[in-house]
Amino acid sequence: MTQSAAARTAAEIPRARSKRRRFFDSRVPGVVLLLALLCLWEASARSGLVESVNWPPFSAVVASLVAGLLDGELLPVVLSTLWRMARGYAIGCAVGVAIGAAIALSRPLRLLLQPTIELLRPVPIPAIIPPLVFLLGLDDRLRIFSIAFASFFPVALNTHAGVRAVEPIYHQVARTFGVPHLTSLRRVVFPAALPFILAGLRTSLGIAFVVTVIAEMIVGQEGLGYYLVTMQFAMRAPEMYAGILLLTCVAYLLNRAFVAWEARAIRWARLVETMQEGAR
Amino acid sequence: MPIPAERGTAVLAALVLPLAALLCLEIASRSAIVDPTFIPPPSAIIGTLGDIVATGAFARPLAQTVLLLFAGYGLGSFAAISLGILMGASRAVYNCLEPLAELLRPLPKPALLPALILFLGLGAKMEVTIVALGCFFPVLINTIQGVRAVEPTMINTARTFGHGSFAVWRRILLPASAPYILAGMRVSLGLGLILAITAEMIAGTGGLGDSILRAQRLFLVKESYAWLVILALLGLVLTGVFGFIERRLAFWSAPQVT
Amino acid sequence: MAVTAGAMPASGATTQSAGARLRVEALGKAFAGPDGAAVEAIGSVTLDVAPGEFVAVVGPSGCGKSTLLQIIAGLLLPSSGRVLLGDRDVTGEPAHMVYLFQQYSKSLLPWMTVENNVMFAFRHRMKVSQADALTRCRDYLAMVGLGDSGHHYPWQLSGGMQQRVAIARALAAEPQVLLMDEPFSSVDALTRLDLHSLILDLWTKKHFTAVLVTHDVDEAIFLADRVVVLTQRPAQLAEAVATKLSRPRHSIETREAPEFLALRHRLLDHLLTRSGRTRDANPR
């Protein structure tokens, strides 16, 4: 009797342990934590536990967000920010790819340009904005230039690395078939470097977004950054938090969209990598 | 092996562009091809810079910014490394905290400034908090990656030799994940500086960010450029020092995890 | 000398003329070694290849066979000597020679489909419509037995199939000379025999000049009209032997022929003793 009872307990214990372990193996505890924190936020705000003005309940924030989106107040703000960012990002990336490729392919250009690039890279981006006001005024040109300037560096660096990292055998293939230099750049070097270039573009996307918000906060007249500062000034906490929430969502979606597109664009790179790993 | 002649050419080539640009600016500004009110000649800017340095007017703002940066950077990095090691080593902890971290990560940290201002006002507390928050995430992510990347065989080997858990951590986990952690700290340094200056600009209570914005608002053109130079030098020095430390600490590898 | 880049019959199956004589004159190559001192990879190699001939180059590993081939292909510059095609000095230029890489899987561009890879070889030189180019491409793929793999990507194919794509691509460029750098060393034995037959088949049809570098003596004798043996580094010509085996060659029968075995014995003996290796598996 005792023996079988002991055997049953011994069998049960590992099962019980694994059930707990399985709980922690999933994402459930994390989600639970999140929900718990949100509930805490809501409860503490509603019960007046925390200073009320700056601590609106989460439900009020969501309500403000929905209201703002529905009555059309927030949408133009978001679009204004995105449009500004898009222009700066596009310019920064275009120049970044061009110069990154140029210094990778030409030693004289590299000796000429790379030191200057390395010198300019550590300059903190907000610092260039006030002096630039004198050059570019207080309008969008200033903000777009700052965004472009910040976007430039990761793209240029990654493009440089990518073009340099092109397998020598690809160059040899182009040579042995007598492919003209320009065609080889277009059909061999550029695709081969694309994984690096896209990584740089992805990093720059995040940076461009941050710089857009910063520029709008410091010298802005419209856009999400300006909206946040305005709401903070007016002590309109629910609107401000709604703005932050919106910003987070936009940033998240931008990143996911880019990652998805990137995965498709360089599908071959992942698969080649896994194949080479397998062969080793 | 670069021959002395090659090195000389490289140094020369490096200087061509900046010197040519400065020269053109000098000529263009002095001969009023460009409006010298908005684009003063570099010599005048250097003169103003000299004044700022000579009078010691740079000292207080510089000290304030540097202190702010180190406080926030230190706090954020320490918290991130501690939490990162925990999350990297324990699946349970990771699964508990990861969704929360994933939610907070895409948030552009400058966006938290208005909220922090509402809570903490415009003083040092707010500034240190935003810098710490900004520095936290890159270091956290990289630390987790670093801990995860440590070859299990390394750890198992250590265990078979009878090393206890703490020793394993100290002698294997930390050094092996150091390159990753340092890569994260490098990103955080740049981000921290940006946030520090932005916070100072918005708060207006001193520091280099405040100085440069004030100069612009008071239409002190030459001063604005001079402060920019000081900030650029600060960025350069910080990057250089960090690079030096990184090379000393993790000379065997430096993987890039952005 | 007939040069075949240009308009071609719609059927796609051309008979190239054999083209010009390939001549390697006193070719030498030295590299900077790890300590800065010059390392002589190739001493002085002179080689004369008749149009349409199939020559195999064998030698101990590391003797510089691949380097020699790359110099002929124009991918490397020699330190001394020159390469002539016909009476034109083509040292350093790709010319009408195509190099078939040892790392065939890496040589196929992974972002292009098989078809685009093949077309990459000749599209820039052909002033014809896309349809004609596609036809030619498909013909060559069919010739290597991959007629319906055009839309795949190289990394979706097996090693043997990838090598076939590389061969199709090389031949689609209709070179006068095909230079092969140990192309079959990393496929399994049966696939190798298959590819041997394929190469001979194509060579018979297209009449290009072939230079094969290999460490496999059997392969060299089976495929070639003439086998050239190089010494160890610095490489020089040790000997050159005509195989004198009848064509067409048969996978099994030719390899059992007495002439084959005799030549094999001779070459292996040469290589094993000259390189200081022992002939016996278990020395006493």
Q: What is the pLDDT of residues C117-131, one digit of tens each?
A: 999 999 888 777 888
From C277's Cα to the closest Cα of chain A, the distance in A is 30
Taking 70 as the threshold, does the pLDDT of residue C79 lie above it?
Answer: yes
End-to-end CA distance of chain C: give it in Å, rounded: 58
- Judge: C155–A179 Cβ closer than 8 Å, yes or no: no
User: Could you list the residue range(s) of the whole structural domain that residue B25 is in?
Assistant: 1-37
Stretch (H or E) spanning C56: strand C54-58
Confidence of residue B12 (pLDDT cuts 50, 70, 90): confident
**What average pLDDT does range B12-30 have in this prediction?**
88
Q: Does residue B46 belong to the interface with chain A, where contact is any CB pair within 8 Å?
A: no
- Which residues on chain A are in Cβ contact (under 8 Å) with B227? 127, 130-131
Taking 80 as the threshold, does the pLDDT of residue A4 lie above it?
Answer: no
Most A-contacting residue of C99, C111, C112 (CB-CB within 10 A), to test interface: C111
Q: Does residue A25 belong to the interface with chain B, where contact is any CB pair within 8 Å?
A: yes
Confirm if C159 and C105 have CB atoms less than 8 A apart: yes
From C93's Cα to the closest Cα of chain A, the distance in A is 9
**Above pLDDT 70, what percent of chain B?**
88
pLDDT tens for each residue of A5-31: 444 444 444 445 566 666 666 777 788
**Above pLDDT 70, what percent of chain A?**
86
Taking 80 as the threshold, does the pLDDT of residue C90 lie above it?
Answer: yes
Structure letter (DSSP) for residue C31: E
**Above pLDDT 90, what percent of chain A?**
51
Confidence of residue A39 (pLDDT cuts 50, 70, 90): confident
Whether residue B128 sits in one domain with residue B17: no
Whether residue A213 sits in one domain with residue A98: yes
Q: Cα-Cα-Cα-Cα dihedral of A134, A138, A140, A141, to 10°? A: -10
Residue A270 one-letter amino acid:
R
Looking at residue C16, what is its pLDDT?
43
Looking at residue B256, what is its pLDDT?
44
Whether residue B29 sits in one domain with residue B16: yes
pLDDT tens for each residue of C201-247: 999 998 899 999 998 999 999 999 999 998 887 888 888 888 888 88
Looking at residue C277, what is its pLDDT?
53
For C225, phi and psi rounded to 5 degrees?
Answer: -85, -30
Q: Which other chains touch chain A, taking contact as 3+ CB pairs less than 8 Å apart? A: B, C
A40-49, B27-36, B53-62: which has the minimum mean pLDDT? A40-49
Whether residue B135 sits in one domain with residue B198: yes
CATH number at residue A213: 1.10.3720.10
Looking at residue B159, what is its pLDDT?
66
**What average pLDDT does range C186-198 have in this prediction?**
89
Chain A residue closest to B208 (CA)? A127
The β-bridge partners of B45 are none
Q: Which CATH number applies to C22-96+176-274: 3.40.50.300, 3.40.640.10, 2.40.160.20, 3.30.420.40?
A: 3.40.50.300
Q: Could you say which of A28, A116, A210 has the minimum Cβ distance to residue B110?
A: A210
**What average pLDDT does range B4-11 have in this prediction?**
76
Is residue B158 assigned to a domain?
Answer: yes
Looking at residue A9, what is its pLDDT?
43
Q: What is the pTM of this model?
A: 0.83
**What average pLDDT does range C122-146 have in this prediction?**
88
- CA distance linking residue C284 with residue C272, whole number of Å: 17
Q: Could you say which of A177, A194, A268 has the minimum Cβ distance to residue C173?
A: A177
Give the count of Cβ contacts less than 8 A between chain A and B: 172
Average pLDDT, chain B: 85
Taking 80 as the threshold, does the pLDDT of residue C274 lie above it?
Answer: no
User: Could you list the residue range(s) of the whole structural domain that residue A163 is in?
Assistant: 63-279
- Which residues on chain C are in Cβ contact (under 8 Å) with A269? 110-111
Q: Does residue A268 belong to the interface with chain C, where contact is any CB pair within 8 Å?
A: yes
A15-29, A40-54, B26-40, C134-148: which has the minimum mean pLDDT? A15-29
Whether residue B78 sits in one domain with residue B15: no
Instruction: List all residues 6 or more positions away from C169 whose beta carbon is below 8 Å from its beta carbon.
Output: C108, C117, C118, C120, C121, C140
Instruction: List all residues 6 or more positions away from B96 whose beta carbon is below 8 Å from its beta carbon.
Output: A24, A29, A30, A33
- CA distance linking residue A210 with residue B90, whole number of Å: 32
Taking 80 as the threshold, does the pLDDT of residue B1 lie above it?
Answer: no
Looking at residue A1, what is its pLDDT?
43
From B112's Cα to the closest Cα of chain A, the distance in A is 7
Tokens for A130, please give them. 């006030």
- Judge: B202–A218 Cβ closer than 8 Å, yes or no: yes
Looking at residue B168, what is its pLDDT?
66
Q: Could you say which of B16, B114, B227 has the minimum Cβ distance to residue A112?
A: B16
- CA distance linking residue A93 with residue A149, whole number of Å: 9
* Of residues A275 and C242, more confidently modeled: C242
- Which residues on chain A are in Cβ contact (under 8 Å) with B103? 34, 248
Q: Where are the alpha helices (DSSP H) in chain C?
A: 65-73, 104-107, 114-120, 130-143, 159-172, 189-206, 217-223, 253-256, 258-274
Is residue B255 assigned to a domain?
Answer: no
Spell B57-90 as b/e; 16+ CB within 10 A means b. Answer: ebeebbebbbebbebbbebbbebbbebbbbbbbe
Whether residue A38 sits in one domain with residue A67: no
Whether residue B92 sits in one domain with residue B104: yes
Whether residue A207 sits in one domain with residue A248: yes
Q: Does residue A191 belong to the interface with chain C, where contact is any CB pair within 8 Å?
A: yes
Looking at residue C107, what is its pLDDT?
92
Q: Is residue C46 classed as helix, strand or coil in its secondary structure? A: strand
Whose CA is closest to A97, among A196, A210, A212?
A196
Looking at residue B167, what is its pLDDT?
66
Instruction: List all residues 6 or more positions away from C41 whose beta carbon is below 8 Å from its beta carbon.
Output: C29, C30, C31, C64, C67, C233, C234, C235
Taking 90 as the threshold, does the pLDDT of residue C149 lie above it?
Answer: no
- CA distance linking residue C91 with residue B14, whole number of Å: 36
Most A-contacting residue of B34, B96, B230 (CB-CB within 10 A), to test interface: B96
Q: Could you say which of A21, A124, A218 has the minimum Cβ distance to residue B193?
A: A124
Q: Which other chains touch chain C, taking contact as 3+ CB pairs less than 8 Å apart? A: A
**Above pLDDT 90, what percent of chain B?**
38
Whether residue B85 sits in one domain with residue B14: no
Q: Does residue C103 belong to the interface with chain A, where contact is any CB pair within 8 Å?
A: yes
Taking 60 as the threshold, does the pLDDT of residue C18 lie above it?
Answer: no
Is residue B151 assigned to a domain?
Answer: yes
Whether residue B72 sits in one domain with residue B8: no
Average pLDDT, chain C: 84
Confirm if A194 and C116 have CB atoms less than 8 A apart: no
Q: Does residue A33 belong to the interface with chain B, where contact is any CB pair within 8 Å?
A: yes
- CA distance linking residue A157 with residue C209, whole number of Å: 45
Q: How many other CB atoms are found less than 10 A from the CB of residue A9? A: 9
Looking at residue B250, what is its pLDDT?
67
| Upstream peptide bond of C283 is cis (omega within 30 degrees of 0) | no
- CA distance linking residue A151 with residue A171, whole number of Å: 29
- Which residues on chain A are in Cβ contact (under 8 Å) with B224? 130-131, 133-134
- Which residues on chain B are in Cβ contact (under 8 Å) with A235? 118
- Matching residue, tokens 């890039």: B256
Tell me where in chain C the CATH 3.40.50.300 domain(s) lie. Answer: 22-96+176-274
Q: Could you say which of A113, A114, A228 has the minimum Cβ distance to residue B111?
A: A228
Whether residue B16 sits in one domain with residue B58: no
Looking at residue C8, what is its pLDDT?
32
Looking at residue A278, what is its pLDDT?
53
* Of residues B9 and C80, more confidently modeled: C80
- Judge: A191–C94 Cβ closer than 8 Å, yes or no: no
Confirm if B167 and B108 have CB atoms less than 8 A apart: no
What is the domain count for chain B?
A: 2
Which strands form C22-32's sheet, in the order they lie side by side?
C88-89, C80-85, C22-32, C38-49, C235-242, C226-230, C54-58, C209-213, C177-181, C97-100
pLDDT tens for each residue of B45-95: 999 999 888 898 888 999 999 999 999 999 999 999 989 888 887 788 888
β C235-242/C22-32 pair status? unpaired
Number of H helices, E strands in chain B: 11, 0
Chain B residue closest to A201 (CA)? B258
Whether residue B135 sits in one domain with residue B93: yes
What is the domain count for chain A?
A: 2
Whether residue B68 sits in one domain with residue B111: yes
Taking 80 as the threshold, does the pLDDT of residue C275 lie above it?
Answer: no
Instruction: List all residues 6 or more positions away from B155 whose beta carbon is below 8 Å from its beta carbon.
Output: B168, B172, B173
- CA distance linking residue C245 with residue B9, whole number of Å: 61
Q: Does residue B62 belong to the interface with chain A, where contact is any CB pair within 8 Å?
A: no
Q: Does residue A175 belong to the interface with chain C, where contact is any CB pair within 8 Å?
A: yes
Chain B residue closest to A256 (CA)? B106
